[in-house]
Amino acid sequence: MSLDAAAVARIARLARIRLTDDEQTNLAAELNQVLGWVDELRQVDTEGVEPMTSVVGARLRLRPDIVDHETTRDDILANAPEPMAGFFTVPKVVE
């Protein structure tokens, strides 16, 4: 798959990014290079390779899930600028 300047212009418009014609041409070349690298990675044989989250075989230390303090609704609402009837109030955003 390769991208031309027109495809980059469409992607930029969808992403709401303003690009000059020179930037579109340069970005198309850079994106084609990235897509070439992705194609190279697709050719790598990964059969039998286990999925991993890190190259280091480390285990996360787990801690017990213990509640060390309880917070009441009134304690939380004490930080709100204008609580009402036990809830946070927010400005209306939908007409």
**Annotated domain spans of the chain:** 5-42
Helices (H), 43-94: 73-77
* Residue-averaged pLDDT of the chain: 89
Q: Taking Cα atoms as reference points, which of 3, 43, 44, 42 lies closest to residue 25?
A: 3
* pLDDT-above-90 percentage for the chain: 56
Q: Quick one: pLDDT at residue 26?
A: 93
Q: Quick one: pLDDT at residue 16?
A: 95
Structural Rg of the chain based on CA atoms? 26
Give the CATH number of domain 5-42.
1.10.20
User: Please, which pLDDT band fits residue 93 given cuts at 50, 70 and 90?
Assistant: confident
Question: By the 8 A CB rule, do 12 and 24 touch?
Answer: yes
The helix-helix angle for 5-14 and 21-42 (nearest 10°) equals: 100
Task: Take residue 40 and report the two structure tokens written for it.
Answer: 């190279």
Task: Take residue 63 and report the two structure tokens written for it.
Answer: 């801690």
Mean of the pLDDT values across residues 20-43? 93
Q: What is the pTM of this model?
A: 0.50
Q: Is 93 helix (H, G, I), strand (E, B) or coil?
A: coil
Q: Quick one: pLDDT at residue 37?
A: 94
